[in-house]
């Protein structure tokens, strides 16, 4: 079982990776045809909302004590999964 610190480090690395992925999508959106820009913008807003939720839960986990992190981990993993699914879908959709 991974330690709290290992888990936090793993999540921090994943957040950085997703930030890079979101930037790539934003670049594609800026170069897209007008009719696609609306769809890109809508998708990006949804992704940013999901990322904010995941970031908030991540921050809660980082500031939690050893005894509370197990409980917080459950909620964080749900948010993480939703964000990953949304990012993967957006990347696939806008290839």
Q: What is the pTM of this model?
A: 0.74
Confidence at 1, pLDDT banded by 50, 70, 90: low
Domain extent for 66: 4-93
Residue 91 has pLDDT above 90, yes or no: no
Q: Per the structure, how many domains does the chain have?
A: 1
Sign of CA dihedral 56, 83, 77, 14: negative
Span 49-84, pLDDT tens digits: 999 998 998 898 888 887 777 788 888 888 889 989
* Distance of alpha carbon 31 from alpha carbon 25, whole angstroms: 10
Span 16-48, pLDDT tens digits: 999 999 898 888 878 877 877 788 888 889 999
Residues contacting 41, CB < 8 A, separation 6+ = 29
């Amino acid at each position: 079982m991974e330690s709290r610190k290992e888990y936090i480090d793993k999540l921090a690395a994943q957040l950085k990776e997703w930030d890079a992925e979101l930037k790539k999508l934003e670049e594609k959106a800026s170069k897209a045809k007008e009719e696609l820009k609306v769809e890109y913008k809508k998708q990006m807003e949804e992704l940013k909302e999901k990322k904010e939720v995941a970031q908030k839960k991540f921050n809660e986990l980082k500031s939690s004590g050893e005894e509370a992190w197990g409980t917080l981990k459950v909620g964080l993993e749900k948010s993480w999964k939703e964000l990953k699914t949304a990012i993967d879908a957006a990347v696939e959709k806008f290839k």
